[in-house]
Structures are given as structure tokens and as C-alpha cells.
Amino acid sequence: MDDSVRKAVLAAVPSLRAFAISLCGNVDRADDLVQETLLRALANIDSFQPGTNMSAWLFTILRNHFRSEYRKRRREVEDGEGHYAETLKSQPDQIGQVEFREFREALAQLPADQREALVLVGASGFSYEEAAHICGCAVGTIKSRVNRARTRLAELMGIESAEEFGPDQQTRAVLASGE
Amino acid sequence: MNDRKPLGQQRTMETAAPNRNKKGNPKPAKLSRDVQARLGQQLRAMYDEVVNQGVPDRFSDLLNRINGGNKDKQ
């Protein structure tokens, strides 16, 4: 394997893991998914066109592999939140802990199509065009999935205006009453 | 009829069901820029938390192994 290829693959790993976790909702399974993705990618490295986006290529393989192998198993392992909590030990100070947890729970409830579109565009930094390529659909489809994902997230979190991202006190009250 | 509650009241126990699902409500709420920005911030915070963990040994070892097997066997 060319050293530059190896470096490019390695450089994509952190982001692949983050994407995989958002798909699987479980760190261990996500890491298995990444490993299988890397093995597939390296076995088919000849089909990678030099000069194109290595990261997008790997994301496509991971996403397709998840779709064909993992998704059907998803319901069997629905303890994603606990694993998330383990992985995410810290969080940015500007986001309240309760709100952050609510967000992750809401994200996990999104339909898979919407979640992957939102993550690819909103977190992985892909363009709508790249995300469409990765997901094998039209650009317009990605745009509408992202929009629906945002709307649904806000609904799930009970947010209609920015003010409702209240101080932690408020969100804590909501959470406490929900338990 | 009276579904416009003051903000404080939306936060009380009886309305705090986490899933305020608007079934049958066709109107897709248009999110303000602020809300979108905030959701985006949370999404990236979650994602970056994982990205910042870097490359676990498991994966660098894997690539080194494959590399060694292909190229310079030691």
C-alpha cells in the first residue's frame, strides 16, 4: 500500500468513527463497522481514483456496509446511550449537560435517512453534493432530509424558539418531570 | 382551543412529554436561524468529541499490519 494512501486512510479514521457512532448508536459496534470498512476499502483500493476525495470514498463504503449488514441488527442492541455516555466524558462548557443529553436522545430517534444526512452535512463537513453521492440519492433529497431532521429534532426537544434553549434550570425541570 | 400556553407552563409536568409529536399537523415549523445554529452546535460538539479521540491503536495497528504484509515484510 502506498504510504500516502495509508496516511489518507488513517486521517479519515476519526471522522469515520464519529459517523459510525451516529449510525450505530454504540461505540463498540461502530468500531467494528470502521474496521470492516477499512478492510473492505483496502481490499478494493484499486477502485479508488487517485485525486478524488478519499474521505468521501471511505464514508460511502462505511455507509453501504452499514446499510447492508448492520441496520437489521440495530434493534437488538439499543443500549447506545450508555455507550455514548462512556465515550463522551466531557462536553463543551457552553452547552448544558441536560440539553446535550436531550440532544443525543433526540438524534437517536430520527429516521436513519435523516440522521445520516444531517450528520454528513452538519458535522462531517460534506457538501450537499458529496452527501448525496455518499448516500446514493439526489441532492434535493439530501436537502429535504436535512431540513426534516432539523425540524424533527427541534420538535423532539420541544424547541420552537431559541429562547427555549433556556438556562440549565429550565431544561432540568423538563427532564426531571419526564422521569 | 387553548393551546397557546405561556412559556413557563410548557415546562410543567403535564406537558413535558419528551415527544411532542405533531401528528396530523402538516405545517412544518420553520426554524429560526438561532435554533438551527444551536442544533448545529450541539451536533458538532457531539461529533467532535469522537473526532478528538484521534485514531485508536486498533486502527493504526491494523493499517501497519496490512502495510507490512504488502510491502516490506520484516
**pTM over 0.90, yes/no:** no
DSSP H or E stretch at residue A19: helix A3-24
Backbone φ, ψ for residue A42 (5° rounding): -70, -30
Cβ atoms of A17 and B50 within 8 Å: the answer is yes
Candidate from B20, B47, B56 with C-beta closest to A18: B47
What single string gives the DSSP state of each residue in chain B? ------HHHHTSGGG--S----TT---PPPPPHHHHHHHHHHHHHHHHHHHTT---HHHHHHHHHHHHHHS---
C-alpha cell of residue B59: 486502527
Cα–Cα distance for residue pair A154/A106, rounded to 1 Å: 9
Cα–Cα distance for residue pair B10/A171, rounded to 1 Å: 11
Express each pLDDT in A116-156 by its tens digit: 999 999 999 999 999 999 999 999 999 999 999 999 999 99
Task: Find which of A150, A169, A179 to mutate to test the B interface (most B CBs within 10 Å of its CB).
Answer: A150
Least confidently predicted of A52-56, A171-175, B9-13 = B9-13
Find the helix packing angle between A80-87 and A97-109, rounded to 10°.
140
Are A142 and A179 in the same domain? yes
A40-46 average pLDDT score:
93
The domain tally of chain B equals: 1
Query: Taking CB atoms and an 8 Å cutoff, what residues of chain A touch B66?
Result: 1, 42
Query: Taking CB atoms and an 8 Å cutoff, what residues of chain B touch A107?
Result: 43, 46
Q: What is the ipTM of this complex?
A: 0.77
Express each pLDDT in A53-108 by its tens digit: 999 999 999 999 999 886 666 554 444 444 454 455 554 555 677 788 889 889 99
Residue B6 lies in a domain: no
C-alpha cell of residue B47: 461529533
The domain tally of chain A equals: 2
* A46 three-class SS: helix
A14/B52 touch (CB, cutoff 8 Å), yes or no? yes
Q: Residue A115's Cα: distance from chain center in Å?
A: 7
Express each pLDDT in B16-71 by its tens digit: 344 444 444 444 557 788 888 889 999 999 999 999 999 999 999 999 887 665 54
B49/A9 touch (CB, cutoff 8 Å), yes or no? no
Find the domain containing A157 and state its range.
91-179
Are A99 and A172 in the same domain? yes
Are A143 and A103 in the same domain? yes
- What chain A residue is nearest to B67 in terms of C-alpha separation? A1
Residue A153: which CATH number? 1.10.10.10
Task: Find which of B50, B60, B61, B65 to mutate to test the A interface (most A CBs within 10 Å of its CB).
Answer: B50
Query: Taking CB atoms and an 8 Å cutoff, what residues of chain B touch A159?
Result: 35, 38
Find the domain containing B38 and state its range.
30-54
